[in-house]
Structure 1
Amino acid sequence: MSTQKHVLKHAGDVEGSEGLRIDEEKAEQVIDALNADLAATYVLYHQLRKHHWNVEGAEFRDLHLFLGDAAAHAEEFADELAERVQALGGVPHASPATLQEESPVEPEDEDVYDIRTSLQNDLEMYGDIIETLREHVDLAQNLGDHASAEIVRENLVQVEEDAHHVEHYLEDDTLVVNE
């Protein structure tokens, strides 16, 4: 194990990116927004994984697969966000403590709930994230960072699609009979 302790860049520092030609002040605003999205996306990811691991019942298989796919979508989006933050000259949030602290959404607690409650919690979190993503698309666009706006916009489509699937799972119509 290396004993070197040379910090290349401190968390919170923004050095700007000469190649991207985005003003450092504007880059800071976009980085803050993207880091908030990154934190929220990881909170969502872990909650979806929790539900993926704990789902039971007659619709187990479909929900298990969907929740796994939705978590994978969140993980892919988090990676894109982190890489964009780095490209803009910032430091992406990475530690679990920072991710939870900086997230604009709150995860549910450690308890395991019935799947309907779990999905309702997921839908609430998706809604909050969707609202924030829309604001951040506008922010990046207004600051002239069209690439960041596009990255968030493209992923917003997937986030909305996954939220819409959760809505479908929460509908009352089902083939399962409770007696």
Structure 2
Amino acid sequence: MSTQQTVRQRADEVEGSDALRIDADKASQLVDALNTDLASTYVLYHQLKKHHWNVEGAEFRDLHLFLGDAAEEAEAFADELAERAQALGGVPVAGMDALTEQATVEAEDEDVYDIRTSLENDMEMYGDIIESLRDHIELAQNLGDPTTAHMLRENLIEVEEAAHHIEHYLEDDTLVSE
């Protein structure tokens, strides 16, 4: 472990960006929103990975692949959120305690549930994230940051698509007999 003790920027400080011409006050609001989405996305990522690892049953393969892909999409979006927060002069939320504290979603516990319950929990989390993204798109637009709004809007499309797929998986119609 490094013995260097120099703090370059405190986690709760937002400097703004001269290059992007966004002042510190607006940047602070945007970074807070981005960090909330970042934290929620990481909670989603970990829950999707849990379900990816533990899925069983007749539809194992399709669900295993879907959940793996959905987790990869969440991880990629988390990276975009973190990089945008940093570009705006902020510090991306990173510590496990801070992620849990700042997330607007709550992961299920460590137990393994049947896949229907797991997917219902995922869909609930996706719904909460969809609402948050919509609010943060509007915030970014109102603060004069179309780039952040665009990035969030593009991800909203992916998040809504994943939620829609889960909704289909949860339908009663199936070829599997019970």
TM-score (norm 2): 0.99
Q: Which letter does structure 1 place at the counterpart of 2:144?
A: G
The aligned residue for residue 49 of structure 1 is: 49
Aligned pairs (5 A) from 1:84-123: 84-123=84-123
Counterpart of 1:61 in structure 2 is 61
- Cα deviation per residue 1:142-178 (whole Å; 9 max; x = unaligned)? 0001100011000000000000000010000101001
Is 1:152 the equivalent of 2:158? no
Alpha-carbon distance in 2 for matches of 1:65, 1:49? 11
Q: Distance in 1 between matches of 2:175 and 2:8?
A: 57
3-state DSSP class of the match of 1:62?
A: helix
Paired residue secondary structure (1:77): helix
- What amino acid is the match of 2:15? E
Q: Which runs of 4+ in 1 moved over 6 A?
A: none
- What is the one-letter code of the residue matched to 1:105? V
Q: Helix, strand or coil for the counterpart of 2:177? A: coil
User: Percent identity over the alignment?
Assistant: 72
Counterpart of 1:126?
A: 126
Instruction: Answer yes or no: is 1:177 the counterpart of 2:177.
Output: yes
Distance in 2 between residues matched to 1:150 and 1:22, nearest whole Å: 16
Query: Which whole-Å CA distance do the structure 2 matches of 1:72 and 1:170 have between them?
Result: 21
Cα distance in structure 1, aligned partners of 2:16 and 2:120: 40
Unaligned 5+ residue runs, structure 1? none
- The AA in structure 2 aligned to 1:34 is L
Determine whether 1:166 maps to 2:166.
yes
Deviation for aligned residue 1:136: 0.2
2:77 maps to 1:77: yes
- Equivalent residue number for residue 24 of structure 2: 24
TM (normalized to structure 1)?
Answer: 0.98
State the Cα distance separating 1:2 from its structure 2 match. Answer: 2.5
* Structure 2: distance between partners of 1:63 and 1:34: 29
Aligned equivalents of 2:102 and 2:44: distance in 1?
13
CA–CA distance in structure 2, aligned partners of residues 78 and 39 of structure 1 = 8
Query: What is the letter of the counterpart of residue 135 of structure 2?
Result: E
